[in-house]
Structure 1
Amino acid sequence: MEIREMNRKAVLVLEEWDPFTIGSEGYETQIADVITQLGVLDHPSDLAKEIQSIYKTSFEKWIPLERCVDISYKLIALKYKAKHII
């Protein structure tokens, strides 16, 4: 899987997540920010904290860290799959 494909799949995962039940189209900016962080961060806990911060800043609502960790593991798995398939 190449990076472009990984990003596309990550967008789908994040759209499906919909933490505030507002519909997938309501998160375009946040999803782009999370994808950027996914490219930089390798540890699920670090990514989870960034996800929590991104959504908190935008919506002024707190997502429990456990929910952010769950989604970060899915995203990190996509990243490692993209990195390790030649």
Structure 2
Amino acid sequence: MNTQQMNLLLVDCLNDWDPFHVGTGNYDTEIADILQMVQTVDDTDELARYIQATYEFSFDEVIPLDQCKKYANKLLVIKSNSSCEIE
């Protein structure tokens, strides 16, 4: 899987999540920030805290960390699966 395919899967995963019930397509800025962070971290807790802070900055509400960890884990599994493919 190439980087573009991986990014599309990551975007799909985050688009499926609507933590503030504002509708799909209203989190583009947050998703872009989170995609950049996924490229640089491999730690679920670190990514979860970043996700939490990103959404809090934009929406002035805190998402419970356990929800952020759930999605951080999903994102890192997608990243891991894309880099483990045998060519």
TM superposition score category, shorter chain reference? over 0.9
What TM-score, normalized by structure 1, do the two folds share? 0.97
Q: What residue number does 1:83 align with?
A: 83
Shift of residue 19, structure 1, vs aligned partner: 0.7
**Structure 1 runs not aligned, ≥5 long:** none
Distance in 1 between the 2:25 and 2:34 partners?
15
Name the structure with the higher helix share.
1
**What amino acid does structure 2 have at the position aligned with 1:59?**
F
- Could you tell me which runs of 5 or more consecutive residues in structure 2 were left unpaired when the two chains were aligned: none
> What are the within-5 Å matches in structure 2 for residues 33-72 of structure 1?
33-72=33-72
Report sequence identity in percent: 36
Matched, 1:3 2:9: no
The two structures, once aligned, show a CA RMSD in angstroms of 0.6
> Which runs of at least 4 in structure 1 moved beyond 3 Å after TM superposition?
none
**How far did residue 3 of structure 1 move?**
1.3
With normalisation by structure 2, the TM-score equals 0.96
Rounded Cα–Cα distance in structure 2 between residues aligned with 1:75 and 1:15: 12
